[in-house]
Amino acid sequence: MAMMPQTEVMLLLDRIARLHAARRRAVTLTDAQCATLEYLARANRFSRSPSVIADYLATTRGTASQTLKSLAEKGLITEEATEGDRRQRRYALTEGGRTLVEGWLASTAKAETAEAVQAARTLLRSLIASAGGKSFGMCRDCRHHSIGPGGTRTCGLLQITLALEEAGQLCHEFAEAG
Amino acid sequence: MAMMPQTEVMLLLDRIARLHAARRRAVTLTDAQCATLEYLARANRFSRSPSVIADYLATTRGTASQTLKSLAEKGLITEEATEGDRRQRRYALTEGGRTLVEGWLASTAKAETAEAVQAARTLLRSLIASAGGKSFGMCRDCRHHSIGPGGTRTCGLLQITLALEEAGQLCHEFAEAG
DNA sequence: TGCAATAGTTTCGATTCGCTATCATATGGA
DNA sequence: TCCATATGATAGCGAATCGAAACTATTGCA
C-alpha cells in the first residue's frame, strides 16, 4: 500500500500549482490571464501569436483568443505590427502590463536553485515527450542558434539575426541541441 | 530585460501544471476530481475530511463538498464510518476508485529523481510559507512521530498508535521535524 | 443550560473555461 | 486560377469554480 515512488513529484507539483493558482486569484486576474502575461513577458517576437500561446498553455485557439481579448480590454497587452504572413497577429505587453508582471514575479517563490531549475526542466521534458507538447526553450540553448564572428547571434532556422536580448527568450521553434 | 532568475522555476512549473491538467482532461474526470482522488489515495484517516481537502486543494469547503459529491455519485469514493466528532465526515476510495487512481498514476511522469523530489518539496515549502498553506507531510517525517520499543509507531499529537502503512501517508497535522 | 464556534452541505449568481463549430482572411501548392 | 490548408475571431453550450450566504448538526466553553 506504500505509495509508488514514481508519483511523488507529480503530486507535489499538483499542489504547488493549486497554491500558485490560489495566489493568482487574489489578484484581479485569472490563472489563465496571469499565465498568458508571464508567457508574453518571456517569449520572442516569433512566438507571441494566439496559436503559439494556445500550444504553450495547452488549450485551444478559441480559448487563447478570448484570454488575449480580455487582456487587451484591460490595457495590459496590445497587438503589434507584424511583417510577413498577414494571417498572424502578434501581441506584446504594454507598459502597464509589463510593470504588473514584473511586480508579480518579484513576489513569487524565492527558492530558486540550479538544481530546482534542472529538475523542473527534466520533468517538463518528460511530460512533453509523453503528451506531445512543444518544448519552448530559449534561443541560446537551441540547435538553430549560432554565434558568428563579432558575436552576432543568428537563428539558422528562420535565417535572421537575433538581438542580444532575444537569446534568452522563449521560442516556439526551439529544438534541443544535438 | 533579461528574465529574473528567481522566476524560472515557477514559470516551468506553471507549464507543467497546465500540461498535466490537459492530460487529465482527456479522462472523464476534471482536474479537481483527479487531484481529490490522488489526495485520498495518500492521506491518512485523520486527513480525509472536506475541510482538510479544501485546505489541500487551496479551495473552499463548498467547492470541495461539491467535488466529493460528484465523486461519490460516480462510485469512486464513499463516506466512511468515523468515531469521535460527529460533525466530521471522512471519505475513502472505493475499490473502483483505487484501481482508477493506481492506473492513472502509473501512466504519469516517470522522470522521478531524488533531485526532482527534493526540488519540488523545497518549492512547495517556500510557497506554503508565503501563502500560508499547510504542509501535509508524511507521518514518518513529522515532529510528532516516534518509534517505540518493538517498532510501534505513535503520533504524539493525536496520542494514537499508527499502523505501519500510515507512516507513509499524508497528514493534515504535519509539523516539520525540529 | 445557554451560546458561540466549528464542520459540512446547499444554494445563488457571476465568471471562467474548454470544446465545437462557423466564419473571414490569407497562404501555398496543384 | 482553384482549392485545400492555416491563422484568428467569434458565438453558443455545458461544466466547473468562486464567493457569499443561509442552514443543520455538533461541539465545547461559560
pLDDT tens figures, B140-178: 888 889 898 888 998 887 778 888 888 888 888 788 877
Secondary structure element (H or E) that encloses residue B161, with its range: strand B160-162
With cell 512549473, the residue in question is: B13
Mean pLDDT calculated for residue range A78-97: 89
Distance A71 CA to D12 C1' (A): 22
Confidence of residue A5 (pLDDT cuts 50, 70, 90): very low
| Residue pair A141/A147 in contact by the 8 Å Cβ criterion | no
Confidence of residue B112 (pLDDT cuts 50, 70, 90): low
Report CA Rg, chain B.
18
Nearest Cα residue to A123 out of B42, B39, B18, B32: B18
With cell 492506473, the residue in question is: B103
Question: Who touches strand D, with Cβ under 7 Å?
Answer: A 22, 25, 49-52, 61-62, 65-66, 68-69, 79, 85, 87-89; B 30-33, 58-60, 62-63, 66-67, 70, 84-87
How far A177 CA sits from the closest chain B CA (Å)? Answer: 19
Q: Which three cell numbers stand for residue B52?
A: 482538510
B163 touches chain A (CB under 8 A): no
Q: What is the pLDDT of residue B7?
A: 65
B127 CA to centre of own chain:
16
Distance CA B164, CA A134 (A): 43
From residue B71, give the alpha-carbon distance in Å to each of B23, B28, B51, B77, B86: 19, 11, 16, 6, 22
Q: What is the pLDDT of residue B132?
A: 65
Q: What is the pLDDT of residue A108?
A: 61
Mean pLDDT calculated for residue range B96-115: 74
Distance CA B121, CA B133 (A): 14
With cell 558568428, the residue in question is: A148
More confident residue, B79 or B109: B79
From residue A20, give the alpha-carbon distance in Å to each of A39, A43, A141, B136, B149: 16, 21, 28, 16, 42
Distance CA B6, CA B49 (A): 36
List the single protein residue with the shortest CA to C1' distance from D19.
Answer: B60
Nearest CA in chain B to A22: B58
A17 touches chain B (CB under 8 A): yes
The string of pLDDT tens digits covering residues B1-11 is 344 444 677 78
According to CATH, the topology of domain B7-134 is Arc Repressor Mutant, subunit A (1.10.10)
Chain A 18-47 contacts with nucleic strand C (CB below 7 A):
30-33
Into which CATH architecture does domain A10-110 fall? Orthogonal Bundle (1.10)
User: A111, B133: Cβ pair inside 8 Å?
Assistant: no
Q: Which residues of B touch A13 (CB under 8 A)?
A: 13, 16-17, 20, 120
Distance CA B78, CA B71 (A): 9
Q: What is the pLDDT of residue B32?
A: 92
| Residue pair A167/B1 in contact by the 8 Å Cβ criterion | no
Do the bridges between strand A90-93 and strand A145-147 make them parallel or antiparallel, or are there none, so unpaired?
A: unpaired
Q: Is the CB of A62 under 7 A from strand C?
A: yes
Q: Which three cell numbers stand for residue A118?
A: 534542472
Confidence of residue A9 (pLDDT cuts 50, 70, 90): confident
Distance B92 CA to C11 C1' (A): 26
Query: What length does chain A have?
Result: 178
Mean pLDDT calculated for residue range A100-128: 72
Domain-by-domain residue ranges, chain B?
7-134, 137-178
Helices and strands, number each (H, E), in chain A: 6, 5
